[in-house]
């Protein structure tokens, strides 16, 4: 019996030693590995950031974004921006600094918008990715160097007749674009999904696609109004720092727009 008790005591001491070696105590990191959809994740304890699988992060436009609004055209709330008579000859935009090269691979952005007024030839940037804080048009009009790059999604009423949903890239200060096949309407809520496949396209250096839907977010089906894609050029697999949730596209023209844009979500992957 005594031998048995001695053996049990030794076993308990060994188990306790292994337990103490594998776990950590207060103020230290306790780590366990898991896999979610092929992405390695790390769970940590108090005060340590939890890295998770790829999922949408809602954007707080009021607290986390910077508003530039020289003439008071914008009303920014936590999840929405109301624009009243925003014009193409003024500086009006809302952006966030995510840090250098944050948008360096695949990503998806989605949001909702509704236009209540747009006059002839007006254009409005609904989403833009840049490496500067002076707005989308400034990168095109006054490029500083060959690193002036961007991509943006915008709407335009051409000649007071045709409403186009367009996507464009800025590569070394030069802009090129593709136009969606269908028109958009006023007083209608649209759901937009914008993706970049970083290795996609004809050159395997990136393809950007935007989907315009009614009722709900989609990439196909009956709710899809139109989709439009553009390929990045060879050598132009660019990274971006700033995301603009709206941009007046100041081109020195007094065309105006009214409406709202809201419920922005971002994730660093595509489905």
Q: Provide the pLDDT confidence category of residue 39 given band limits of 50, 70 and 90.
A: very low
Angle at 145 between CA 143 and CA 147, to 5 degrees: 100
The whole-number pLDDT of residue 224 equals 95
- Among candidates 198, 200, 6, 7, which has minimal Cα distance to 105? 198
Alpha carbon distance 72, 95 (integer Å): 16
Tokens of 41: 């994740």
Calculate the alpha carbon distances from 114 to 81, 129, 153, 155, 189 in Å.
Answer: 11, 21, 15, 12, 5
Q: Are residues 120 and 20 both part of a single domain?
A: no
The whole-number pLDDT of residue 252 equals 86
Q: Provide the pLDDT confidence category of residue 53 given band limits of 50, 70 and 90.
A: low
Contacts of 49 (CB under 8 A, 6+ apart): none
- Among candidates 197, 169, 229, which has minimal Cα distance to 108? 197
pLDDT digits (tens, 9 = 90+) for 157-210: 887 778 889 999 999 888 888 888 677 889 999 999 999 999 999 989 999 999
214 within 8 A of 93, measured Cβ to Cβ = no
Question: Is pLDDT above 50 for 20?
Answer: no
Q: Please state the rounded mean pLDDT for residues 253-267.
A: 95
pLDDT digits (tens, 9 = 90+) for 88-109: 999 999 999 999 999 999 999 9
3-state secondary structure of 218: coil
Residue linked to tokens 């790829």: 54
Q: Please state the rounded mean pLDDT for residues 28-54.
A: 40
Alpha carbon distance 45, 52 (integer Å): 14
Q: Are residues 111 and 228 both part of a single domain?
A: yes
Q: Are residues 160 and 233 both part of a single domain?
A: yes
Alpha carbon distance 60, 75 (integer Å): 14
The whole-number pLDDT of residue 145 equals 66
Tokens of 131: 């490496």
Q: What does DSSP say about strands 174-179 and 162-171: parallel, antiparallel, or unpaired?
A: antiparallel
The whole-number pLDDT of residue 17 equals 44
Angle at 116 between CA 76 and CA 177, to 5 degrees: 85
In a domain, 51, yes or no: no
The count of structural domains within the chain is 2
Q: What percent of the chain has pLDDT over 90?
A: 61
Q: Provide the pLDDT confidence category of residue 217 given band limits of 50, 70 and 90.
A: very high
Q: Are residues 22 and 66 both part of a single domain?
A: no
Q: Are residues 27 and 120 both part of a single domain?
A: no
In a domain, 50, yes or no: no
Tokens of 63: 């607290």
Q: Provide the pLDDT confidence category of residue 140 given band limits of 50, 70 and 90.
A: confident
Q: Are residues 77 and 38 both part of a single domain?
A: no
Bigger pLDDT: 3 vs 67: 67
| pLDDT, the chain, mean | 82
Q: Are residues 96 and 208 both part of a single domain?
A: yes
In a domain, 52, yes or no: no
pTM: 0.80
Q: Are residues 30 and 68 both part of a single domain?
A: no
Q: What is the 3-state secondary structure (H, E, C) of 238-256?
A: CCECEEEEEECCCCCCCCE
The whole-number pLDDT of residue 24 equals 40
Alpha carbon distance 155, 162 (integer Å): 10
Contacts of 182 (CB under 8 A, 6+ apart): 165, 212, 225, 226
Q: Which structural domain, as residue segments, surrounds residue 117?
A: 57-267
In a domain, 48, yes or no: no
Q: Are residues 108 and 21 both part of a single domain?
A: no
Question: Is pLDDT above 60 for 30?
Answer: no
Q: What percent of the chain has pLDDT over 70?
A: 78
């Amino acid at each position: 019996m005594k031998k048995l008790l001695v053996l049990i005591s030794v076993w308990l001491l060994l188990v306790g030693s292994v337990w103490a070696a594998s776990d950590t105590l207060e103020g230290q990191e306790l780590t366990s590995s898991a896999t979610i959809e092929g992405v390695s994740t790390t769970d940590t304890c108090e005060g340590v950031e939890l890295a998770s699988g790829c999922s949408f992060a809602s954007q707080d436009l009021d607290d986390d974004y910077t508003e530039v609004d020289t003439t008071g055209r914008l009303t920014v709330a936590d999840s929405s921006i109301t624009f009243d008579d925003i014009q193409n000859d003024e500086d009006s935009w809302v952006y966030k600094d995510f840090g250098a090269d944050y948008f360096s691979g695949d990503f998806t952005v989605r949001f909702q918008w509704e236009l209540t007024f747009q006059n002839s030839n007006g254009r409005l940037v609904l989403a833009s990715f840049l490496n500067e804080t002076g707005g989308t048009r400034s990168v095109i009009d006054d490029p500083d160097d060959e690193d002036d790059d961007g991509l943006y999604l915008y709407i335009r009423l051409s000649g007071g007749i045709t409403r186009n949903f367009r996507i464009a890239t800025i590569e070394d200060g030069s802009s090129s674009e593709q136009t969606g096949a269908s028109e958009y309407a006023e007083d209608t809520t649209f759901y937009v999904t914008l993706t970049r496949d970083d290795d996609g396209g004809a050159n395997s250096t990136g393809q950007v696609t935007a989907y315009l839907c009614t009722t709900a977010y989609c990439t196909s089906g009956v709710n899809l109004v139109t989709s439009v894609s553009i390929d990045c050029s060879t050598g132009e697999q660019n990274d971006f720092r700033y995301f603009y949730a709206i941009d007046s596209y100041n081109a020195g023209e007094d065309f105006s727009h009214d409406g709202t844009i809201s419920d922005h979500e971002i994730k660093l992957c595509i489905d």
